[in-house]
Amino acid sequence: MLNYRHLYYFWMVSKEGGFARAAERLDMAVQTISVQVHELERSLGLQLFKPLGRGVVLTEAGQVVLSHAEGIFQMGKALLEAVRDASMGRVIRFAVGLSDGISKLAAHAVLGPILDTPDLRLICHEGEFDQLQVELALHDLDLVLAGQPSPDNPNLRLISDSLVSSPVVWYGSAKWIDKEAVDTFPQSLERLPVLLPTGHSALRASLDHWFHARGLKVRVVGEFEDSALMSVFAARGLGVFPVGRLGADDLGPMPGLTMMGCCEGVSENIYAIRSRRSQHHPLVRKLMS
């Protein structure tokens, strides 16, 4: 049976970048940690570190062990948090991953139906699509919201469904939007400074195709991964920007923003991705309904 204490010392050496640093972090002798790691190598029958200069680096086998150790100790941390929550009373923990490029305004609207849940503890992680899928498969997350479905991967065994498809509209401040800009939309976009989501967003590809299909040559003055941040800069007059109509409902606190027109044929799509275990979470089931 795997000795998790040995694995923990290996994990610390990997995270700290060497035996000496790990020993200092743990307030232990270097020799003690070295013996524990060698015991792990002996039990696995594999060399996990190899010397490099004055330090050590992971072997290929060590990289594999580290990837699993990360998941194991993250789950241990989640266990402690769950026990702490339970000791404080009935808490419903809901961990959601928000993929880079997804509209945060739309994500807030999507999560709206569960925000009034009594004793809710909502945890939102933002990150790259591939990494969030791994965290979901390791049960660190209950749900991932993304602009694309999870590709078929028998190792991850994730389930994807289209949760919402929202028409895209253009907004801007009174500095740029007048009657002429509205009446001549979308051609008026060529005369205005434009803010766009970055290439991380699936919406960006749809917008670029929309520009090309209509022969529009726009002047992009800003690119943002966060739609909420983009709306703040737009409200301050930097330029006009596209947003899903679902997320546009959250623009109320941004004074001075006016809708210019609808981006006909373009929609912002949000997919709900969950694991076979997390699909039974009561809040996942509520959102999916």
Question: Is 44 within a domain?
Answer: yes
Relative to beta strand 55-58, strand 92-99 is unpaired
pLDDT at residue 252, rounded to an integer: 64
Q: pTM above the 0.85 mark?
A: no
Question: What is the average per-residue pLDDT within 21-36?
Answer: 89
Let me know whether 159 and 172 are in one domain. no
CATH of the domain at 112: 3.40.190.10
Let me know whether 283 and 159 are in one domain. yes
Let me know whether 122 and 239 are in one domain. no
Question: Is 256 within a domain?
Answer: yes
Question: What is the average per-residue pLDDT within 41-53?
Answer: 90
pLDDT at residue 80, rounded to an integer: 79
Q: Is the pLDDT of residue 86 over 90?
A: no
Let me know whether 189 and 246 are in one domain. yes
Q: Is the pLDDT of residue 170 over 80?
A: yes
Let me know whether 230 and 213 are in one domain. yes
Structure-token match 């004793």, residue found: 119
Closest CA to 138 of 284, 22, 8, 277: 277
Question: Is 58 within a domain?
Answer: yes
Let me know whether 43 and 112 are in one domain. no
Question: Is 111 within a domain?
Answer: yes
Per-residue pLDDT band at 239 (split at 50, 70, 90): very high
Question: Is 75 within a domain?
Answer: no
Domain that holds residue 57: 4-68
Question: Is 74 within a domain?
Answer: no
Per-residue pLDDT band at 85 (split at 50, 70, 90): low
Let me know whether 170 and 159 are in one domain. no
Q: Is the pLDDT of residue 184 over 90?
A: yes
Question: What is the average per-residue pLDDT within 149-176?
Answer: 89
Question: At 39, phi and psi to the nearest 5?
Answer: -65, -40
Domain tally, the chain: 3
pLDDT at residue 88, rounded to an integer: 63
Question: Is 76 within a domain?
Answer: no
Let me know whether 175 and 259 are in one domain. yes
Let me know whether 160 and 215 are in one domain. no
Let me know whether 150 and 277 are in one domain. yes
Question: What is the average per-residue pLDDT within 1-14?
Answer: 89
Let me know whether 253 and 280 are in one domain. no
